[in-house]
Amino acid sequence: MAILDVSGLKVHFPIKGGIFNRTIGHIKAVDDVSFSIEQGKTYGLVGESGSGKSTTGRAIVGLENITAGKILFEGEDITSRESKTKDMRKDIQMIFQDPYSSLNPRKRVRDIIAEPLRNYEKLTKNEEKQRVYELLELVGLNPESIWKFPHQFSGGQRQRIGVARAIALKPKLIIADEPVSALDVSVQAQVLNFMQDIQKELDLTYLFISHDLGVVEHMCDEIAIMYRGRYVEQGTREDIFENPQHIYTKRLIAAIPDINPRNRDAQYAFRQEVKREYENSFDDYFDAEGLAYNLQNISATHRVALPERG
């Protein structure tokens, strides 16, 4: 069953201008996006900076006002902020890119992790401390961490603290917005693997937001590529990586560095070919405003933004 079902989501921000500071236009940060995520799966949203990925995630947790569309969580309508009950707010948590800026530097780990518990559950001091110890163990940090401050940890450890806080209330869905982008490449894989372990252990569903297709390939069952607020392509990991259809998707894939030096020549050739196709056939893939067309089904799992035939 789909745990999250988003249909026709639009988030438009007004652009103010003139001496009366009137609305003179809109930034269509998210413009008609639909998708659903199955329980226990990881769904990836990919795109370059400004494509609308974060705004989509923020709209789902209620951090942005929605211009149009509908969001169902476990079949219940949570579109408006008011319709999100206290339980639903517990069930959907967010992990951010930079754990350092999202963790209060003046608070000890104990208080950082306990904060959501204090907001939602009435625990005694002892029960609370016990829960914090359990959470630290779950994310692989030692018990002494409880008394430390965020600056006493490495980037990867800080992201573990961020995860401990996000899972404190036993959520069902986690929206992870660029969770490893601020980390060294060597630490990224550790954090990603650990997120997968936690997912299995707690039966979590992830909405995984990233500009990095390599990271998304490692993590996601289904993937959507966004460009200027719209979907360009959506499919299973195999659809996207084995059979990309949209020129924009192909460009992103061609740009992934290949670590195997033996493939370098082949990759260079592929990149050149995609570049040529991009320059020669841009108009086949984008409308007069340079935006992606509506999605067409090309298989039961694969949708691509192409002009309608006929």
Ligand X SMILES: Nc1ncnc2c1ncn2[C@@H]1O[C@H](COP(=O)(O)OP(=O)(O)OP(=O)(O)O)[C@@H](O)[C@H]1O
Enumerate binding residues for ligand X (CB under 6 A).
Answer: 13, 27, 29, 47, 49-55, 211
Q: Smallest distance, Å, CB 83 to ligand X?
A: 22
Cβ at position 132, least distance to ligand X in Å: 31
Q: Length of the chain, please?
A: 310
Q: How many CA atoms does the CB half-sphere of 91 hold within 13 Å?
A: 16
Identity of the residue, 93 or 210, whose beta carbon is nearer to ligand X in the bound complex = 210
CA 258 remoteness from chain centre? 24
Kindly tell me which of 255 and 269 has the beta carbon lying closer to ligand X: 255
Alpha carbons within 13 angstroms on the beta-carbon side of residue 138 total 24
Half-sphere exposure of 106 (CA within 13 A, CB side): 0
CA–CA gap between residue 218 and residue 214 (Å, rounded): 7
- 91 within 8 A of 173, measured Cβ to Cβ: yes
Q: Which is nearer to ligand X, 210 or 245 (CB)?
A: 210
Strands (E), 97-246: 173-177, 205-210, 222-227, 230-236
Looking at the Cβ atoms of 18 and 261, the one nearer to ligand X is 18
Q: Which is nearer to ligand X, 54 or 249 (CB)?
A: 54
Smallest separation, CB 28 to ligand X (Å)? 8
4 in helix, strand or coil?
strand
Which residue reads 């769904």 in tokens? Answer: 43
Can you tell me the distance from the alpha carbon of 146 to that of 51, in angstroms, rounded to the nearest whole number? 38
Closest distance to ligand X from the beta carbon of 49 (Å): 3
CA distances from 39 to 36, 43, 174 (A): 10, 10, 11
Helix, strand, coil % (nearest 5) of the chain?
45, 25, 30
What is the nearest approach in angstroms of ligand X to the Cβ of residue 55? 3
Measured CA to CA, the distance from residue 221 to residue 75 in angstroms comes to 21
d(CA 280, CA 60): 37
Nearer to ligand X, 25 or 143 (CB): 25
Nearer to ligand X, 55 or 145 (CB): 55
CB of 52 to ligand X, least distance (A): 4
Residue 98 CB, nearest distance to ligand X (Å)? 11
